[in-house]
Structures are given as C-alpha cells and as structure tokens.
Structure 1
Amino acid sequence: MRPLRFVALGDSLTEGVGDPVGERRRGWAALLADGLARSVDFTNLAVSGAQTRDVLERQTPVALALRPDVVSVVIGVNDTLRCTFDIHAVAARLDKVYAAFRGQDAVLLTACLPDPGAMLGLPGALARPLARRQRAVNTVVHALSERYGAVHLHAAEGAWLRDRAMWSADRLHPGERGHRQLALRFHAVLTREGVADGTAPGAELEFPPPTRSAGLWWLATAGTGWVARRCTDLLPQLLTLAAAEVRHRARGTSARLDLSASHAVASALAALSAAEQPDVA
C-alpha cells in the first residue's frame, strides 16, 4: 500500500517561517504530515512571498503532477500587501486552484487568516485598509471552501492571536508554538472528517521561544529589509487609503468603505457563479 501523499502550497506561513529547525524551516504542514497516517509522502511547495498568482501558475501544476491525496492551499496575505490587490483576481485564481485539486478527488485544506496590519500593530488608519482586504480574502476563501467541500480551518480569530507566545520575533509569522497549534487544529478537523488517523502533533516545544532581544535583532537586520520592500510597493497606496479612512471617519461615513468592499467581494463571487452557468442558445 503506497504512502498517503500530502502536498502543501502557499507562502511563508506554510513554508515554515518562524519555526526553524537547524538550517531548515519546518512549520505547521510538516508537523501535520507526521500525524496524517502511518506512512506519509510529504512535499512542501510553499515559497516565502508567494501570492495567489504564484500558487496558480507555479505551485499548482507541480502539485497536480504529484496527484496528492491531501493538499493544503493557504494563501492570500501577500496579495493584500501589494498595490496590485484585486479581489476579483484573487477569487478567480483560488477558484481555479480549488477546482483543479477537487477534480483529482484530493482532500483540500484551506484556512482564513488574521490581517497583517493588526498583527504588526500598525496605527488604525493604516491597519483598517489592510484589515478590510484580509476580510475580503477570507470571505472568498470561506465561500469557495464551502463550494468545493474543503476542510476549512478558521484561523482568523481567537485567543491564540493575542497570545504573544504563539508568535515569532517578526510578529507576523507564528513561532514554533503557533505552528504547533495550527497543526493540532488541522489534525483535529481532519480526524473528525475521517482523513487523519495518525497521532496528533505534540504541543510541547522542542526549542526555546524567541527572546525580546531576538525580536529587536530581527527588526535591525531582516526586518528592516522586509519593511523597505513593502514600503516600496505598498506604502504610497496605503497612505492614500489611510487618507481616505481619515476623511470618511471625520465625515462619519466610514461604513461606505466597508460597504464598497463587501460589494466588491459579492461581485467577484457572482462573476465566478456566472462563469459556471452554461450558455443557453
């Protein structure tokens, strides 16, 4: 009997950033793989910085060729951090990716994620546009996960987000404890669905959590480069969005921004539904 094939797609979260083991990254997907079955063939295709376009065009073809039994697609945060963000494009790409794997009868794992502005502690006027974008992505992921019968994990809320011990020095990626919690929560859902029959990942840490000095070191080294890259791409647009937030807040019309975002999501999902309807002669 061949091993169960598990392929993970996504960005730095799935790649394992925040959970280093020696010179490599481990992460929640690798932790989960050990608990899926007695014998598992695990492949991690996730790449830091990946967006939905990368998952569709680069990772999905490779994963389909592996014909996985279980495939995880956890993506979307990096799309919200780009000036090119377009919820219609995000929805269309995810729809194609989900459909491709369900077409192979693979068990599809998805998750909604917290907004990066809140995790980074940005000021309200800067954080709210990012939160609105992440809510839009999460709404699309929820809707498409239901459409394709995915095993979905609600990871966008809960006490774990406010527990500093769950997060790495960069405050954007889970640390080892956070990755273990994600693996445990996925394992619990998969066990209920009858997909996982292996031992649940352990909750106890193998390595000490990052210290405050490690966080300061990250900001002084890698963090500076990370912020600079995001500023070059997103900051000019984000400042414009923040100015709009301030104007609407002063006028008491902030609800219009939320309503506009909701309409965009509804339009994106409606476009997918319309594309599925057969032409009537």
Structure 2
Amino acid sequence: MREKTLPWLMAVSALAAAACLAGLAWTLYDYFREVPPVTLTKPPEAVQEVPAAPAEDDGKFRVLALGDSLTRGYGDPEGKGYAGYLADALKGKAKEEVVLENLGVNGQTSPQLAEMLGQAAVQGQVKAADIILVSIGGNDLFRGGETLATLDLAAVAKIQEEYTKQLQGILGRLRELNPQANLFLIGLYNPFIELKDANVTSKIVRDWNYQAAETAAAYPKTVLVPTFDLFQLKVSDYLYTDQFHPNVQGYKLIAERAAALVTW
C-alpha cells in the first residue's frame, strides 16, 4: 500500500509546486500589464559622448559610475541616482574637489557594458578614477519582467551563468585598467517582494547576489554593496511610480550604504 501511495504523493506535490509557480507568473504578468507610464521631471539622457580623462593627476578625487539605469538615476527627478548622492556625501568629507563622471546607460546589460569598456575614452576615465561604481545585472536577470513572469528556474540558472562570465570579464578589465581604485559593485534588490510568492523571487535575487559577491571577491579592492535588505521591509516606500526603479529615498539609501565603505 505504501509503495502505491508514495508516487501519488509525489505527483500531488509536483502539481502543487507547478500551481504555485503558475500563480506567481500570472501575478507578475498582471503587474507588468498595469504598470503606469513613467514620467520624469528631468529624465536622464543616455551617454552621447564620453568626456576625455585628464592627461595627468590634477589633484581631484574622481568618482566613475558605470552601468544601467540605476547608475543613470532613472526614477530620480533630478537624475542623480545613487552615484550623484554618493558624490554629494563625499564632497563633505574629501579634502580634494570631488568630480563625478556618470557613464550609466538606461537599459544596459552586462555584454553592453563589456563592449563599452573597449572604448578608448571610457578606458581613460577608468584609469583616472579614484572610485569606480558599477551597477549591472538587473536587466540581465529581470529582462523587463519576462524572466520572473515565466519563472523558468532552469532559464534563470542559465542567465546567471552567462552573467557571471560577463561580470568576470568586466571586473577583470577594470582591474587591469585601474588596479588601485576601490571598486563597488551594487547588488540587486527585489522590487517584487510585496507580490504573491515573493519568497521565490527573493531566493532568486539572493542567489544572484551571492554569486556576484563571490565573483567580486576574486578581484582586489572589489566589494559587492548589498541593497536587498534596504528595500526588504518597505519596498513600496523606496520605489518610483514604475514600481521597479528606486525613487529619491531609495537611491539615497544605496548611496549611504556605499558611502560608508569609502576609505581615504
């Protein structure tokens, strides 16, 4: 009797798990269908031309920000984002003049950032930087909600594997160009943490951050800045109207976390 019962229980468990994932997929589909249009008072523009780096050390403290829309400051009416608020915080501490070069691009993925690092002007900015900020991976993982809406865990694992390879190349190239600057990789938060079955999406994001932190640890002066916990308890208070990007308060939280790691 027990031998007949066990397969039946396993089948029921499998159906229950499938139903759980299907429910999450429908919730995310419905969420993305009803997201309000995004309107910024001062929308940040994509990088058109990379400024030339100084020919020699000019005595300024240079902060270079690379990556996606979080770096660019999307969702902040002033377009500062975490990079801008971090630079503001450093201006009150640094003896030198603090200069921020924000090369973030809305929608950028890790392969696109890797390609960008092949540009001579970008390489010059990397070499001149005292601090390098990188926010990359959100578009690789979320893909406009497609990944978490379908919630194909095998596909997520494949995406993570591909991202890790890209991240290794990005960090390796940055360290080759500038082995002295402290490099801060901004971790991911879960913007869907208040939706149904958030434990599944949260596990995906936590695993993603863990692998990113392990990758960063292989390079000198390279640290992953955790953000998951900053948004975990009150995520709706720190998101922009698109319910995906941070708002001003969210960006300031990330900036404060990163600023606390800066040493002189």
| Fold conserved between structures, TM > 0.5 | yes
Give 3-state SS (helix, strand or coil) of 2:185's partner. strand
1:108 equivalenced with 2:169 (yes/no): no
Match of 2:66 in 1: 9
- Per-residue Cα deviation, 1:165-213 (whole angstroms, up to 9, x for no partner): 32221221111111112111111111xxx23xxxxxxxxxxxxxxxxxx
Match of 2:105 in 1: 47
The correspondence for 1:141, drawn from 196, 212, 217, is 212
1:65 equivalenced with 2:124 (yes/no): yes
Structure 1 gap segments, 5+ residues each: 196-281
Match of 2:255 in 1: 183
2:108 is aligned with what amino acid?
A
Paired with 2:231 and 2:138, the residues of 1 have a C-alpha distance of 20
CA contact (8 A) 1:111 1:141 kept: no
Match of 1:156 in 2: 228
1:41: how far off? 2.4
Give 3-state SS (helix, strand or coil) of 2:192's partner. helix
165 and 7 in structure 1: CA distance in 2 versus 1, 3 angstrom threshold: same
Match of 1:98 in 2: 171
TM-score, L = length of structure 2: 0.62
30 and 60 in structure 1: CA distance in 2 versus 1, 3 angstrom threshold: farther
2 and 89 in structure 1: CA distance in 2 versus 1, 3 angstrom threshold: same
1:12: how far off? 1.1
1:13 is aligned with what amino acid?
L
Q: Which has the larger radius of gyration?
A: 2
Give 3-state SS (helix, strand or coil) of 1:17's partner. coil
CA contact (8 A) 2:216 2:224 kept: yes
Q: How big is the alpha-carbon RMSD for the aligned residues of Structure 1 and Structure 2? A: 2.4
1:132: how far off? 4.7
CA contact (8 A) 1:109 1:150 kept: yes
Match of 1:19 in 2: 76
100 and 70 in structure 1: CA distance in 2 versus 1, 3 angstrom threshold: same
Match of 1:250 in 2: none
Equivalent pairs: percent with the same residue? 28
Match of 1:76 in 2: 137
2:136 is aligned with what amino acid?
I
TM-score, L = length of structure 1: 0.59
How many aligned residue pairs are there? 185
Give 3-state SS (helix, strand or coil) of 1:47's partner. coil
Give 3-state SS (helix, strand or coil) of 1:42's partner. strand
117 and 167 in structure 1: CA distance in 2 versus 1, 3 angstrom threshold: closer
131 and 164 in structure 1: CA distance in 2 versus 1, 3 angstrom threshold: closer
